[in-house]
């Protein structure tokens, strides 16, 4: 299998040089293959979210390199990294991060705004993904009128709408009930079958049990990497 | 060139404007008020200039008056032959006019010779009802709109005027001037020169002033200079000079107000800067979310600047509308007093306004560009927010 | 000083443009000089600064282009305030040391401004800001002219005063005139007209041909350059007198005032002349990577099309005017 993502001696320090300097990630080296279902585990504060941010090119590493399909993307300009994020990466946040001024379908279609897609087509594509996630009837609802589970599924639909190769999810089942967590898990399994690379930070054993690779973080350092056969 | 992305951002910007209502209202209100004042000055100035140009159209090419001790006195008709000898003169016609006081108001009686005086085609715009004076007319008058209203006069009504000896003279109203020339014709009574002579007791050897018409308009200045040389003590006014003096005065006044207005604009820019800078944590997080979804820094900047442009257009539109209401229906108090600024007290009359395409375009320009300047740095600071603020929860 | 609404607004906008243009020069120089040798972290910071520079320059150039028609409108409104002035000629002569050079700048600099903005559009249509260094370098080179443009406008607004001037006839209508006499004697006007139409038609045709054949580009640019003196001469010696029913040469400003559609003709002529030169800018500065090459080529085609259409429509306007003048 092709290596989709490679991390080499990756470190991230916040507030470098200041009195409140924090090293969130320290010297992480790892590989994630093309169709991997990777989970990042570890206690709170271990650096899971920061690692996801680095992989998602949401922040620059203080040291080290990140490779996507063999290209060193960490040294790319902000514009290049935005291009990669726009075309290849879908992100699901722990706190959903939906924009309250927009309806459900408008939130799902947000990534398409910078893809030269006209309004009618955006709506059509958004409804397609919402239908797959059983949310079609909620399409015109404002975010405030959606349940937590529905919001999380909207966030997943939003991440999928640009058909990304890589999906990052930060504790996707942390804020939802069991039933919703189960439905989210089924969505993730389906995504794995579509040959996408999934990278999920989680404590949820049901998700961990489905993973093909597990990266364990403690205090910003990788303590264990386990690869499971499918 | 791809424009769909920009249309999408425009849609997003419109939504943002409705989301951040406090900022929208603060900027729109302050800019709207500023533009209302500037627009009001521009429209009043334009109206006065237009009215001055139309009124000047009826003036002769050159007006020759006689001064003694700095005051105007009747000019001898002998000067007509002196003037007519100058090359380029088509004709010289006497005009007899003066002031009367009636019902505590001062009116101007102007006597002209309709047989000799060239009538410009713009006369159609100057007479709203009735007709102009004709060659055979006697004891008839065309009155200004204000006078017609004050005396409840219409065409075919009789106007009784008393001269200095308190002798009554009856005039039949044959025409009423329009609003467009109201500034200068509001209190004007236009009669034949013979009627005017009788009324004021000025003999045929004299006239109040002489109206000189040139064969070639481009020669007017040279002819005026020649008249000055040939008639010492004369005051010679060209039509162009009259028009230029009026336009110059209105232009200078509007310029003065415009410069003072800079201070108001500075205050508005500070409001815009302040509002744009007071970006809440929620707004910063929104930028982080958008960037994590694939929006680039340029895209965010474009959205923020589009918001400024929309607010500028909205404020300008409202400001222009308010300026028109302020000028047309309220008479532009304070501004009109300053713009008119004559020593004489005018009777009240509807203020002329002129909304030109150029003024409107300039008003939109001075609404949008300064707002862009005021919002630029705060917009940039917002746009360079790291996308991982979304991951970290703001 | 003559201060009117228009003058006050030009002063305001020129002041804004000058301050902004000055404020961003340092950043532009830092980006242009530092990009190639900068490390990743430095480049990241420079890139952030570029976004501000880019936005500022877009606004400054937008202001400068907006001011061009406002400037001429304002000068026209100042005619009554300059004793002796009967058209723009008189106003220009009220402050000749500044205003005649400013007239030249008002035709030349918008070409450069449009060039930068078109390059900026190409850059924004690409996903990765490939023209960042070119844009900042171009801005650094152009900024002295930008500042000059704003400064001259400010100085003109502050120094123009109601001095006595002579009418344009004192300059245009006097003295022996070599052209069009030397072209064909008394019929020189007809020959000049023929040259004008030949050059304008050649410009239009060559511009359309450039959409297909790169080899014709420099020929079109030569026609565009030749069009400038031919236009000025023909306007003064032929178009103005013929359209205004005067026997001989006359001030072109009188034509622009008395036949307002000729202003559109002049604006279209400007587009026809400038577009070929803007294509040279985009060709040299707008091709940093594969994506920008594709977009630049499409842009260049649009510019040639604009030049061709502008020249065609401009010529048509004059044909209509002359036809109406002779009917």
Q: What secondary structure does DSSP assign to B267-324, as a single string?
A: HHHHHHHHHHH---HHHHHHHHHHHHTT--HHHHHHHHHHHHHHHHHHHHHHHHHHHH
Minimal Cβ distance to A114: which of B5, B11, B387: B5
**Hey, are the CB atoms on A162 and B292 less than 8 Å from each other?**
no
Burial class, C147, CB count within 10 angstroms (exposed 0-12 / middle 13-18 / buried 19+): middle
Distance between C174 CA and the closest CA of chain B, angstroms: 15
When pLDDT is averaged across residues C318-327 and rounded to a whole number, the result is: 89
Q: How confident is the model at residue A206 (pLDDT cuts 50, 70, 90)?
A: confident
How does pLDDT run across C260-289, given as a tens digit for each residue? Answer: 889 999 999 999 999 999 999 999 999 988
- CA–CA separation, C54 vs C139, rounded Å? 9
Q: Are strands B105-112 and B188-192 parallel, antiparallel or unpaired?
A: parallel
**Hey, are the CB atoms on C127 and A75 less than 8 Å from each other?**
no
pLDDT at position C70, please? 92
Residue B281 has pLDDT above 90, yes or no: no
So where are chain B's domains? 2-53+246-391, 75-207
Structure tokens at B238: 């060209």
- CA–CA separation, B29 vs C9, rounded Å? 21
Contact B334, B44 (CB under 8 A): no
DSSP helix/strand/coil, C47:
helix
Residue B345 has pLDDT above 60, yes or no: no
pLDDT at position B349, please? 59
pLDDT at position C207, please? 95
- CA–CA separation, B187 vs B22, rounded Å? 51
b/e map of A189-218 (b: 16 or more CB within 10 Å)? eebbeeebbbbbbbebeebeebbbbbbbbe
**Hey, are the CB atoms on B297 and A78 less than 8 Å from each other?**
yes
ipTM of predicted complex:
0.91
**Alpha helix positions (H), chain C:** 5-34, 40-78, 88-94, 96-125, 132-159, 169-172, 178-184, 188-210, 217-234, 240-243, 252-258, 261-285, 290-326
From chain B, pick out residues whose CB is under 8 angstroms from the CB of A59: 386-388
How does pLDDT run across C133-175, given as a tens digit for each residue? Answer: 999 999 999 999 999 999 999 999 999 888 888 777 666 666 6
Closest CA to A215 of A95, A57, A47, A64: A47
- The DSSP annotation for A56-94 comes to TTSS--SEEEEEETTEEGGGS-HHHHHHHHHHHEEEE-T
What chains are in contact with C, requiring at least 3 Cβ pairs below 8 Å? A, B
Residue C125 has pLDDT above 70, yes or no: yes
Residue B90 has pLDDT above 70, yes or no: yes
Structure tokens at C50: 């570029």
Instruction: Give the Cβ contact number of residue B41 at 10 Å.
Output: 27
What chains are in contact with B, requiring at least 3 Cβ pairs below 8 Å? A, C
Task: Give me Rg for the CA atoms of chain B.
Answer: 30
b/e map of A2-19 (b: 16 or more CB within 10 Å)? eebbbbbebbbbbeeeee
Which secondary-structure segment (H or E) carries B96? Answer: strand B89-102
Contact B61, B238 (CB under 8 A): yes
pLDDT mean across residues, chain A: 89
- The DSSP annotation for B283-295 comes to HHHHHHHHHHTT-
Distance between B278 CA and the closest CA of chain C, angstroms: 19
Residue C180, preceding peptide bond in cis (omega within 30° of 0): yes
A57: which residues sit within 8 A by CB, 6+ positions away? A66, A73, A74, A81, A84, A85, A89
pLDDT mean across residues, chain B: 85
**Hey, are the CB atoms on B387 and A58 less than 8 Å from each other?**
yes
- CA–CA separation, B315 vs B367, rounded Å? 7
Q: What percentage of chain C exceeds 70 in pLDDT?
A: 94
Distance between C54 CA and the closest CA of chain B, angstroms: 9
Among A79-93, B174-188, B274-288, C83-97, the range of highest mean pLDDT: A79-93
Q: How many CA atoms lie within 13 A of B151 on its CB side?
A: 23
C167: which residues sit within 8 A by CB, 6+ positions away? B218, C84, C85, C86, C87, C89, C90
- CA–CA separation, B181 vs B195, rounded Å? 23
Contact A16, B355 (CB under 8 A): no
Phi, psi of C4 (to 5 degrees): -115, 180
**DSSP assignment, residue B217?**
G
Residues from B in contact with A at Cβ < 8 Å? 2, 4-5, 7-9, 11-12, 15-16, 18-19, 285-286, 289-299, 386-388, 390-393
For chain B, give the number of residues.
394
Identify the residue with better confidence: B200 or B70: B200
Identify the residue with better confidence: B153 or A91: A91
Following CA atoms C108, C111, C116, C121 in sequence, which dihedral angle do they give, to the nearest 10 degrees? 160
Contact B35, B323 (CB under 8 A): yes
**Hey, are the CB atoms on A79 and C127 less than 8 Å from each other?**
yes
Mutate to test the interface with B, among A22, A60, A108, A114 (most CBs of B within 10 A): A114
The terminus-to-terminus CA distance of chain B in angstroms comes to 36
pLDDT at position B342, please? 52
DSSP helix/strand/coil, B78:
coil
pLDDT mean across residues, chain C: 89
pLDDT at position B122, please? 65
How does pLDDT run across B124-137, given as a tens digit for each residue? Answer: 667 778 888 888 88
Closest CA to A210 of A179, A162, A173, A164: A173
When pLDDT is averaged across residues A178-187 and rounded to a whole number, the result is: 82
Minimal Cβ distance to C9: which of B258, B296, B380: B258
pLDDT at position B301, please? 92
Sheet holding A37-41, edge to edge: A89-92, A166-170, A197-201, A37-41, A213-218, A221-227
From chain B, pick out residues whose CB is under 8 angstroms from the CB of C2: 251-252, 255
Q: What is the 3-state secondary structure (H, E, C) of C158-172?
A: HHCCCCCCCCCHHHH
How does pLDDT run across C14-61, given as a tens digit for each residue? Answer: 999 999 999 999 999 999 999 989 887 888 889 999 999 999 999 999
For chain A, give the number of residues.
230
Minimum Cα–Cα distance from B384: chain A residue: A78
From chain B, pick out residues whose CB is under 8 angstroms from the CB of C302: 1
A21: which residues sit within 8 A by CB, 6+ positions away? A13, A14, A15
pLDDT at position C251, please? 80
Which secondary-structure segment (H or E) carries A28? Answer: strand A22-33
Contact B145, B196 (CB under 8 A): no
Closest CA to B326 of B306, B303, B305, B351: B351
Mutate to test the interface with C, among B244, B273, B368 (most CBs of C within 10 A): B244
Mutate to test the interface with C, among B299, B338, B358, B383 (most CBs of C within 10 A): B358
**DSSP assignment, residue B352?**
P
- CA–CA separation, C8 vs B365, rounded Å? 13
Task: Give me Rg for the CA atoms of chain A.
Answer: 17
Distance between B14 CA and the closest CA of chain A, angstroms: 11
**Hey, are the CB atoms on C13 and B384 less than 8 Å from each other?**
no
The terminus-to-terminus CA distance of chain A in angstroms comes to 13
- CA–CA separation, A185 vs B311, rounded Å? 45
Minimum Cα–Cα distance from A54: chain B residue: B388
The terminus-to-terminus CA distance of chain C in angstroms comes to 45
Structure tokens at A122: 């955006």
Structure tokens at A74: 């960490």
Q: Are strands A197-201 and A37-41 parallel, antiparallel or unpaired?
A: parallel
Minimal Cβ distance to A80: which of C41, C48, C128: C128
Residue B180 has pLDDT above 70, yes or no: no
Instruction: Give the Cβ contact number of residue A119 at 10 Å.
Output: 15
Geometric angle at alpha carbon B251, from B249 and B256, rounded to 5°: 95
Mutate to test the interface with B, among C4, C20, C74 (most CBs of B within 10 A): C4
Contact A154, A90 (CB under 8 A): no
Which residues are registered as beta bridge partners of A221?
Answer: A218
Contact B5, A116 (CB under 8 A): yes
Task: Give me Rg for the CA atoms of chain C.
Answer: 22
Structure tokens at C287: 């091709």
Across chain C, where does the E strand assignment appear?
A: none
- CA–CA separation, C44 vs C46, rounded Å? 5
Distance of CA C134 to the CA centre of its chain: 22
When pLDDT is averaged across residues A76-99 and rounded to a whole number, the result is: 89
- CA–CA separation, B80 vs C227, rounded Å? 54
Residues 51-70, chain A, touching C (beta carbon < 8 A):
60
When pLDDT is averaged across residues C184-188 and rounded to a whole number, the result is: 69
DSSP helix/strand/coil, B62:
strand
pLDDT at position C21, please? 95
B229: which residues sit within 8 A by CB, 6+ positions away? none
Residue C183 has pLDDT above 80, yes or no: no
Model confidence, pTM: 0.83
Residue B203 has pLDDT above 70, yes or no: yes
Q: How confident is the model at residue B344 (pLDDT cuts 50, 70, 90)?
A: very low
pLDDT at position C179, please? 63
Q: What is the 3-state secondary structure (H, E, C) of B139-179?
A: CEEEECHHHHHHCCCCCCCEEEEECCCCCEEEEEEEEEECH
């Amino acid at each position: 299998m092709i290596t989709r993502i490679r991390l080499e001696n990756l470190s991230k320090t916040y507030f470098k040089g200041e009195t409140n300097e924090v090293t969130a990630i320290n010297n992480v080296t790892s590989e994630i293959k093309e169709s991997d279902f990777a989970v990042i585990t570890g206690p709170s504060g271990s650096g899971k979210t920061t690692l996801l941010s680095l992989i998602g090119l949401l922040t620059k590493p203080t040291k080290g390199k990140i490779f996507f399909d063999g290209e060193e993307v960490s040294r790319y300009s902000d514009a290049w990294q935005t291009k990669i994020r726009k075309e290849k990466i879908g992100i699901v946040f722990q706190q959903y991060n939906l924009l309250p001024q927009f309806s459900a379908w408008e939130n799902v279609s947000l990534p398409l705004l910078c893809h030269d897609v006209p309004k009618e087509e955006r709506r059509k594509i958004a409804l397609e993904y919402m239908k797959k996630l059983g949310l079609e009837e909620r399409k015109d609802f404002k975010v405030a009128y959606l349940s937590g589970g529905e919001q999380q599924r909207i966030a997943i639909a939003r991440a999928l709408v640009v058909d990304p190769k890589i999906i990052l999810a930060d504790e996707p089942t942390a804020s939802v009930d069991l039933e919703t967590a189960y439905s989210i898990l089924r969505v993730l399994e389906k995504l794995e079958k579509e040959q996408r690379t999934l990278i999920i930070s989680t404590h949820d054993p049901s998700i961990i049990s489905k993973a093909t690779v597990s990266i364990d973080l403690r205090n910003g350092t990788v303590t264990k990497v386990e690869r499971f056969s499918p | 060139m791809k424009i769909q992305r920009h249309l999408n951002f425009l849609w997003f910007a419109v939504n943002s404007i409705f989301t951040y209502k406090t900022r929208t209202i603060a900027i729109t209100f302050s800019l709207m008020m500023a533009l209302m004042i500037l627009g009001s000055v521009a429209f009043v100035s334009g109206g006065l200039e237009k009215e001055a140009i139309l009124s000047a159209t009826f003036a002769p090419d050159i007006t020759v008056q006689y001064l003694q001790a700095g005051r105007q006195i009747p000019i001898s008709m002998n000067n007509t032959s002196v003037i007519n000898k100058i090359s380029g003169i088509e004709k010289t016609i006497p005009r007899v006019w003066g002031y009367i006081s009636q019902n505590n108001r001062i009116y101007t009686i102007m006597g002209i010779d309709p047989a000799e005086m060239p009538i410009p085609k713009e006369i159609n715009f100057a007479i709203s009802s009735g007709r102009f004076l004709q060659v055979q007319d006697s004891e008839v008058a065309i009155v200004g709109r204000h006078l017609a209203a004050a005396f409840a006069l219409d065409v075919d009504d009789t106007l009784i005027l008393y001269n200095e000896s308190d002798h009554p003279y009856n005039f039949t109203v044959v025409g009423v001037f329009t609003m467009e020339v109201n500034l200068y014709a509001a209190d004007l009574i236009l009669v034949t020169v013979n009627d005017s002579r009788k009324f004021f007791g000025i003999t045929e050897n004299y006239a109040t002033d002489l109206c000189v018409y040139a064969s070639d308009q481009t020669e007017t200045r040279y002819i005026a200079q020649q008249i000055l040389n040939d008639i010492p003590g004369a005051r010679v006014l060209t039509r162009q000079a009259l028009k230029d003096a009026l336009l110059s005065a209105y232009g200078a006044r509007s310029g003065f107000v415009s410069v003072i207005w800079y201070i108001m604009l500075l205050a508005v820019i500070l409001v815009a800067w302040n509002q744009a800078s007071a970006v809440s944590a929620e707004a910063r997080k929104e930028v982080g979310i958008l960037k994590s979804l694939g929006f680039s820094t340029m895209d965010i900047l474009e959205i923020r600047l589009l918001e400024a442009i929309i607010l500028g257009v909205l404020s300008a539109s409202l400001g222009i509308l308010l300026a028109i209401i302020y000028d047309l229906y309220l008479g532009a108090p304070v501004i009109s007093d300053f713009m008119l600024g004559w020593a004489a007290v005018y009777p009240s009359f509807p203020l002329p306004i002129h909304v030109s395409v150029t003024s409107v375009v300039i008003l939109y320009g001075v609404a949008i560009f300064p707002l862009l300047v005021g919002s630029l740095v705060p917009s940039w600071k917002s746009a360079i927010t790291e996308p991982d603020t979304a991951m970290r929860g703001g | 000083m003559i201060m009117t609404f228009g003058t006050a607004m030009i002063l305001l906008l020129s002041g804004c443009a000058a301050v902004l243009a000055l404020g961003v020069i340092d950043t532009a120089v830092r980006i242009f000089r530092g990009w190639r040798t900068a490390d990743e972290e430095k480049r990241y910071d420079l890139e952030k600064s570029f976004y501000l520079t880019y936005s500022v320059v877009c606004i400054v150039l937008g202001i400068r282009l907006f001011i061009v028609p406002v400037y001429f409108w304002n000068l026209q409104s100042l005619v009554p305030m300059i004793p002796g002035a009967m058209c723009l000629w008189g106003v220009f002569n009220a402050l000749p040391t500044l205003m005649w050079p400013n007239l030249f700048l008002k035709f030349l600099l918008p070409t450069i401004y449009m060039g930068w903005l078109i390059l900026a559009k190409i850059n924004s249509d690409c996903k990765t800001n490939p023209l960042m260094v070119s844009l900042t370098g171009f801005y650094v080179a152009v900024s002295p002219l930008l500042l000059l443009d704003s400064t001259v406008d400010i100085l003109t607004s502050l120094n123009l005063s109601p001095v006595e001037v002579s009418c344009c006839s004192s300059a245009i209508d006097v003295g022996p005139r070599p052209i069009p006499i030397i072209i064909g004697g008394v019929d020189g006007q007809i020959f000049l007209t023929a040259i004008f139409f030949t050059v304008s038609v050649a410009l239009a045709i060559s511009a359309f041909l450039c959409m297909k054949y790169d080899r014709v580009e420099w020929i079109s640019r030569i026609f565009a350059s030749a069009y400038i003196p031919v236009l000025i001469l023909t306007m003064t010696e032929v178009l103005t007198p013929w359209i205004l029913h005067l026997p001989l040469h006359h001030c072109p400003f009188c034509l622009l005032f008395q036949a307002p559609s000729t202003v559109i003709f002049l604006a279209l002529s400007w587009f026809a002349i400038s577009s070929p030169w803007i294509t040279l800018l985009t060709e040299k500065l707008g091709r940093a990577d594969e994506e920008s090459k594709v977009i630049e080529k499409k842009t260049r085609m649009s510019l040639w099309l604009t030049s061709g259409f502008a020249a065609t429509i401009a010529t048509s306007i004059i044909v209509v005017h002359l036809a109406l003048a002779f009917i």
